[in-house]
């Protein structure tokens, strides 16, 4: 069966895989299916700074308005801002044009329903099916004309609502010195201004909204420069956002990375202390370090694991009545406040905990005693059939035996890039794990091209 949606919306090389024609069709179909959810019918569109964003924005808006639904263009805005505003305004749906952490040539469409939630699997399948039956779906349905055609308006004020929402969820950051890496993406301008409003002194890296450099050796995917600048400036912390600012990687005052696992550890311990962690449960994915299991036992909470993807974390949070979870990559969900991962909200929660505790970020993060773990991404020509490949299966089985009891081998196809991702974890020296990861990556490269 043909597929449009991956693990995080529709994604591909802009103007080759993700074409204006595709965006127009998806916009028209989504509007036709979702327009009854707000009166008058309205869909929001936001984007990051990618060079292809304006092209896809115009096509998407054309498709939506051709179905008789009006569009409000939010401009460059973080993904969680679109999710928040979709429910706050309210709107029938919101669409973020972004490929998150992917290379600059990629782009994507993330669609949120009227509650600010990513579309259900059922709704994605419905859009997907109708996309491939497009002509039949719209046959006999006359296009609206005259006053019935949807209108397009630019909204420069909506971002202020999102800023107010974030400001209300942070304590004063007065006296705190920070370095902020905007990754040339959607947090440019917005994040530094908000942090300064809250009292912080901010040194900005990669702060120009430059779609030709988004995520290139900067931001949450490459925080090396941030680490250097935190040390040079004597900052209390560094904050790195990805292209659409829905995830955060932090740096402590000693220049060490504070990833999503460490952020979850810090926040979970604080929430347990305050009695704010619902059902004393943290929801993480199978990729999170086994040190979180040890921390959970030490501080009296439960760690519940899901498949990889923040949508699965959120599904488990909602199904189980929990309120906190996330991914090692820095997608962190505080469901009492937000329906999706939010890098800025996460940064404010983290900085508030650090400020209230009076402890340096390194000490807070140091509570997480990590098990040795390595992550390796192997580019492939095709992901098809890798799980049934006998040579790969035999190599995985042999590796599990080598790592022994307590070792973990997680190999999966990326849902956003042409990669096979390899994670190994065991009580062994890291150099041994790296050697094993490279070995199995070589087998995968040989078998999958």
Question: How far is Cα 414 from Cα 359, in angstroms, rounded to an integer?
Answer: 37
Closest residue by Cα to residue 236 from 354, 349, 342, 330: 354
CA atoms within 13 A of residue 352's CA, in its CB half-sphere: 17
User: Looking at the DSSP assignment, which residues form a beta bridge with residue 376?
Assistant: 422
Question: Distances from the Cα of 199 to the Cαs of 283, 317, 364, in angstroms?
Answer: 32, 33, 22
Secondary structure of 374-406 as H, E, C letters = EEEEEECCCCCCHHHCHHHHHHHHHHHHHHCCC
100 is catalytic: yes
| Strands of 93-97's sheet in order across | 5-6, 9-13, 106-113, 93-97, 42-47, 70-76, 152-154
CA 287 to chain CA centroid, nearest Å: 15
Contact 8, 79 (CB under 8 A): no
Using CB atoms within 10 Å of the CB of residue 219, give its burial: 0 to 12 exposed, 13 to 18 middle, 19+ buried.
Answer: buried
Question: How far is Cα 120 from Cα 126, in angstroms, rounded to an integer?
Answer: 10
Bridge-based pairing of strands 106-113 and 93-97 is: antiparallel
Question: Distances from the Cα of 120 to the Cαs of 124, 125, 132, 212, 434, in angstroms?
Answer: 6, 9, 19, 32, 37
User: Looking at the DSSP assignment, which residues form a beta bridge with residue 1?
Assistant: none
Choosing from 66, 100, 187, 338, the catalytic residue is 100
| Pair of tokens at residue 351 | 């900085």
Question: How far is Cα 422 from Cα 407, in angstroms, rounded to an integer?
Answer: 13
The beta strands (E) that lie in 67-221 are given as 70-76, 93-97, 106-113, 152-154, 177-181, 201-205
Question: How far is Cα 268 from Cα 385, in angstroms, rounded to an integer?
Answer: 39
Helices within 252-290 (DSSP H only): 260-274
Question: How far is Cα 43 from Cα 114, in angstroms, rounded to an integer?
Answer: 9
Closest residue by Cα to residue 200 from 358, 78, 347, 79: 347
| Strands of 332-334's sheet in order across | 302-306, 281-285, 324-326, 332-334
Q: Mind telling me the catalytic residues?
A: 100
């Amino acid at each position: 069966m043909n597929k449009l949606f991956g693990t995080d919306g529709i994604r591909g090389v802009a103007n080759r895989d993700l074409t204006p024609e595709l965006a127009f069709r998806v916009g028209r179909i989504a509007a036709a299916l979702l327009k009854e959810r707000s009166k008058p019918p309205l869909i929001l569109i936001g984007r990051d700074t990618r060079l292809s964003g304006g092209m896809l924005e115009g096509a998407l808006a054309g498709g939506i308005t051709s179905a008789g639904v009006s569009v409000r263009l939010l401009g460059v805005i973080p993904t969680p801002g679109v999710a928040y505003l979709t429910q706050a305004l309210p709107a029938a749906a919101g669409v973020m044009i972004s490929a998150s952490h992917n290379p600059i040539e990629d782009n994507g469409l993330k669609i949120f329903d009227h509650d600010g939630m990513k579309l259900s699997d059922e709704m994605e399948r419905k859009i997907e099916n109708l996309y491939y039956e497009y002509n039949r779906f719209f046959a006999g349905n006359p296009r609206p004309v005259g006053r019935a055609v949807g209108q397009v308006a630019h909204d420069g004020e909506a971002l202020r609502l999102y800023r107010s929402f974030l400001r209300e969820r942070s304590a004063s950051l007065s006296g705190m010195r920070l370095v902020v890496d905007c990754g040339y993406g959607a947090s440019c301008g917005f994040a530094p201004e908000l942090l300064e409003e809250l009292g912080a002194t901010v040194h900005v890296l990669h702060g120009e909204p430059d779609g030709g450099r988004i995520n290139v050796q900067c931001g949450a995917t490459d925080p090396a420069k941030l680490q250097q600048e935190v040390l040079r400036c004597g900052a209390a912390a560094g904050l790195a956002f990805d292209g659409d600012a829905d995830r955060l990687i932090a740096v402590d005052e000693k220049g060490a990375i504070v990833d999503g696992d460490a952020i979850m550890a810090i926040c979970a311990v604080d929430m347990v202390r305050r009695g704010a962690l619902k059902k004393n449960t943290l929801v993480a994915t199978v990729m999170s370090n086994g040190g979180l299991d040890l921390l959970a036992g030490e501080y009296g909470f439960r760690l519940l694991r899901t498949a990889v993807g923040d949508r699965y974390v959120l599904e488990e949070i909602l199904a189980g009545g929990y309120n906190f979870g996330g991914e090692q990559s820095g997608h962190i969900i505080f469901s009492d406040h937000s329906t999706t991962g939010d890098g800025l909200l996460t940064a404010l929660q983290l900085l508030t905990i650090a400020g209230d505790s009076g402890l340096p970020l390194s000490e807070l993060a140091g509570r997480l005693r990590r098990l040795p773990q390595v992550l390796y991404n192997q580019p492939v020509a095709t992901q098809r059939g890798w799980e049934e490949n006998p040579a790969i299966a035999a190599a995985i089985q042999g590796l599990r035996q080598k790592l022994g009891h307590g070792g973990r081998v997680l190999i999966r196809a990326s849902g956003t890039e042409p990669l096979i991702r390899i994670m190994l974890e065991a009580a062994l020296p890291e150099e041994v794990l790296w050697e094993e990861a490279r070995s199995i990556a070589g087998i995968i490269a040989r078998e999958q091209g």
